[in-house]
Amino acid sequence: MLSHHDRTELEKIERTLELSDPDLATALREGRRPKSRALRSALLIAVDVIAVTLLVLGLILPDPGVTLCGILALSGTVWTHVARHRL
């Protein structure tokens, strides 16, 4: 059991968090992880670059497997972009 002082301090922290970042406070209250948009965007851009690189390499090299991987990867990233904007 927390002391009165500890509960008061926790309430102050909760109020400060609620004012400074209401989305994070809601996520913590509901027990879900907050969305990390920056990390998700960086990862999606990295996958985009890899997909385009595979596609270009597949067109330059006489290997249809690399071209197929590039097309599939690019299709997946396009689908992810479309699904992300619908949310």
- For residues 63 and 83, what is the distance between their CA atoms, to the nearest angstrom? 31
Per-residue pLDDT tens over the stretch 43-81: 888 989 999 998 899 889 888 898 898 899 999 988 988
Is residue 55 within 8 A of residue 71, CB to CB? The reply is yes
- For residues 65 and 25, what is the distance between their CA atoms, to the nearest angstrom? 48
pLDDT for the residue numbered 6: 82
Instruction: Mark out the alpha helices in the chain (DSSP H runs).
Output: 4-20, 22-30, 37-60, 64-86
Residues 77 and 40 in one domain: yes
pLDDT for the residue numbered 49: 92
Per-residue pLDDT tens over the stretch 4-44: 888 888 888 888 888 888 877 787 788 776 566 777 888 88
pTM flag (> 0.75)? no
Residues 52 and 87 in one domain: yes
pLDDT for the residue numbered 21: 81
Residues 25 and 62 in one domain: no
Residues 80 and 63 in one domain: yes
